[in-house]
């Protein structure tokens, strides 16, 4: 059974992915930028995919591994968001709409991992 924390994580990561897709479309259409935007699209949407995979993990260790990968993808996404901001492909407002939820996903996933590890002892 999926815990309430994982449901929140699932929802937040899905909404985040939708926002990433929208941002990607804007960057490609308006700025004609295809390389950096593809990177953030890949990492930003894979966060939720890994969270979904963790829901059917074969063991606690597999669960922790899947969420750890989601955290790595979220961290990478935050890097790309910073780079897109500093290279002026996205505005400060776009950044401010995306970076905090990305960091929040990292914090929730980290708490889920810590709980899983604690419960496994």
> What percentage of the chain reaches a pLDDT higher than 70?
95
Tokens of residue 35, six digits: 């390389």
Domains and CATH numbers, the chain: 4-120 (1.20.1440.60)
Q: Per-residue pLDDT for 107 more than 70?
A: yes
Q: Does this model's pTM top 0.85? A: yes
Dmax (CA) for the chain in angstroms is 52
Spell out the residues 6+ positions from residue 67 whose beta carbon is closer than 8 angstroms to its own. 50, 51, 54, 109, 112, 113, 116
- The per-residue pLDDT for 6 is 63
- Tens of pLDDT along 6-59? 699 999 999 999 999 999 999 999 999 999 999 999 999 999 999 999 999 999
d(CA 28, CA 45): 16
Which residue has 């990177």 as its token pair? 39
């Amino acid at each position: 059974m999926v815990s309430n924390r994982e449901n929140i994580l699932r929802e937040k990561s899905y909404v985040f992915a939708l926002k990433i897709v929208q941002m990607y479309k804007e960057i490609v259409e308006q700025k004609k930028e295809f390389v950096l935007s593809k990177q953030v699209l890949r990492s930003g949407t894979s966060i939720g995919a890994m969270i979904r995979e963790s829901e059917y993990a074969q063991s606690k260790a597999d669960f922790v591994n899947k969420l750890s990968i989601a955290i790595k993808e979220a961290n990478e996404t935050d890097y790309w968001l910073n780079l897109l901001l500093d290279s002026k492909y996205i505005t400060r407002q776009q950044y401010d709409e995306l970076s905090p939820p990305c960091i929040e996903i990292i914090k929730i996933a980290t708490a889920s991992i810590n709980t899983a590890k604690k419960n496994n002892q």
